[in-house]
């Protein structure tokens, strides 16, 4: 099953959809225009059911095969939201919305799944039901969690679920995947160090919160180097450091820090939270200061299921001739919530030699569309072969 001829025929149309979405990016749950277009197209394709408003602004389409005797129901998910980044591609279809752009390729994901839905609704050459899922708010809003909380899996009887993301650096239209932990958990923290401010000429009369906070920053790196198993992955990053005074001659009363903790296992995630809290509090106390920690759980580790991952790789090999082993990725992905609810797998499709995702010069490569659409269709036709 190589790239399907139908998707080569549809490429100009799907490309036009993608560029329209690119030109009109919407952030988090504010995907009203995008969701409306998706629902309108799914109805035009002849989907058996189209449901809007799941997970606030998510859209779901149901396509039944020529037969449904197998009783199988497979979910296919694409994300729709953009990022709060000012685009610098200079493309004729660049974002018309200041401060927002599709810098992660969700416009391409949405367009590819729409293309697959059009094909599947035309052919229906499978025995079972496919549920196409268009999700808002992947970029930090937890749209996948919200759709699951709204009963996505139960309402549509989904038994397996599959997702796909484009990836710069992988050859155009090629695929990569790995079983088990794939994308990291993404927790955030805030640490406030409260000392005793004063004149810079009289440090002995103060408790220097800047000095204390600096020691905390350094000590936090011992979590990775001395607390975690060296064969596992954890990244602790302090990304913001702000003192309560901006004057040259004042020792600040307070320092506020922000950062992230990323891990590849639930156990290490728990350890990271425990050690960060203990290190901040005890280090501050040793210098006569006080630390207050606010630890905020983000996306969980995204874990691919073994059998479904091998199946996804088989389909990818049929489409492109090969499927590489993907690297561990310390970024987060809220498809993790769907994989906690149902078995399934998440795959990368190559975007070629382009700027990285989340970069103002990034753009999705339209040449990847036939491969991505063919993979979606292949998952359905291989998993639920026609009776």
User: Per the annotation, where are the binding residues for Mn(2+)?
Assistant: 104, 106, 139, 165, 358
227 Cβ contact partners less than 8 Å away, ≥ 6 residues apart: 271, 275
Q: Please, are residues 252 and 158 in contact by the beta-carbon 8 Å criterion?
A: no
Query: What one-character DSSP code corresponds to residue 227?
Result: I
d(CA 105, CA 364): 5
**Tokens standing for residue 212:** 């204390």
Spatial CA neighbour of 329 closest among 362, 306, 357: 357
H/E segment holding residue 176 = strand 175-177
Cα pseudo-dihedral 297, 162, 108, 46, rounded to 10: -120
The most distant pair of C-alpha atoms in the chain lies apart, rounded to whole Å, by 84
**Taking each helix axis from N to C terminus, what angle separates 106-123 and 32-45, rounded to the nearest 10 degrees?**
20
Q: Please, are residues 255 and 235 in contact by the beta-carbon 8 Å criterion?
A: no
Query: What one-character DSSP code corresponds to residue 384?
Result: S
Residue with tokens 């490429």: 11
Strand order in the sheet with 185-194: 234-243, 254-263, 185-194, 290-299
What value, to the nearest 5°, has the Cα angle with vertex 293 and ends 288 and 299? 155
Indicate the annotated binding residues: 104, 106, 139, 165, 358
Q: Please, are residues 39 and 54 in contact by the beta-carbon 8 Å criterion?
A: no
Spatial CA neighbour of 299 closest among 267, 344, 340: 340
Q: Is 264 helix (H, G, I), strand (E, B) or coil?
A: coil
35 Cβ contact partners less than 8 Å away, ≥ 6 residues apart: 52, 57, 58, 59, 80, 134, 136
d(CA 350, CA 370): 12
- E strand spans, 8-91: 49-54, 58-64, 73-79
Query: What one-character DSSP code corresponds to residue 57?
Result: T
């Amino acid at each position: 099953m190589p790239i399907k001829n139908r998707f080569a025929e549809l490429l100009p149309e799907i490309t036009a959809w993608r560029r329209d979405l690119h030109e009109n990016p919407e952030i988090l749950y504010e995907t009203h225009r995008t969701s409306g277009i998706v629902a309108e197209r799914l109805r035009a394709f002849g989907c058996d059911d189209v449901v809007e408003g799941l997970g606030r602004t998510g859209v779901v389409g149901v396509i039944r095969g020529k037969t449904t005797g197998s009783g199988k129901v497979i979910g296919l998910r694409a994300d729709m939201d953009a990022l709060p980044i000012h685009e610098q591609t200079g493309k004729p279809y660049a974002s018309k919305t200041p401060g927002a752009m599709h810098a992660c390729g969700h416009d391409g994901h949405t367009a590819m799944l729409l293309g697959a839905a059009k094909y599947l609704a035309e052919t229906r050459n499978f025995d079972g039901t496919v549920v196409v899922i268009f999700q808002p708010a992947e970029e930090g809003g937890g749209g996948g969690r919200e759709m699951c909380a709204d009963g996505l899996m139960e309402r549509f009887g989904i038994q397996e679920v599959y997702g796909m993301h484009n990836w710069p650096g992988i050859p155009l239209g090629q695929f990569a995947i790995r079983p088990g932990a794939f994308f990291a958990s993404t927790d955030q923290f805030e640490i406030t160090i409260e000392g005793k401010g004063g004149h810079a000429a009289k440090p002995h009369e103060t408790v220097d919160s800047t000095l204390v906070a600096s020691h905390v920053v350094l000590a936090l790196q011992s979590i990775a180097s001395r607390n975690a198993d060296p064969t596992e992955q954890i990244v602790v990053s302090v990304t913001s450091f702000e003192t309560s005074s901006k004057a040259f001659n004042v020792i600040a009363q307070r320092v506020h820090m922000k950062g992230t903790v990323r891990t590849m296992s639930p156990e290490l995630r728990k350890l990271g939270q425990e050690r960060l809290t203990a290190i901040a509090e005890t280090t501050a106390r040793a210098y006569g200061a006080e630390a207050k920690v606010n630890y905020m759980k983000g996306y969980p580790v995204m874990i691919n299921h073994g059998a479904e991952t091998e199946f996804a790789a088989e389909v990818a090999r049929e489409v492109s001739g090969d499927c590489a082993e993907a690297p561990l990725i310390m970024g987060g992905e809220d498809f993790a919530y769907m994989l906690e609810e149902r078995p399934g797998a998440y795959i990368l499709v190559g975007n070629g030699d382009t700027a990285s995702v989340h970069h103002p010069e990034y753009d999705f490569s339209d040449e990847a569309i036939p491969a991505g659409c063919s993979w979606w269709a292949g998952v359905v036709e291989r998993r639920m072969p026609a009776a």
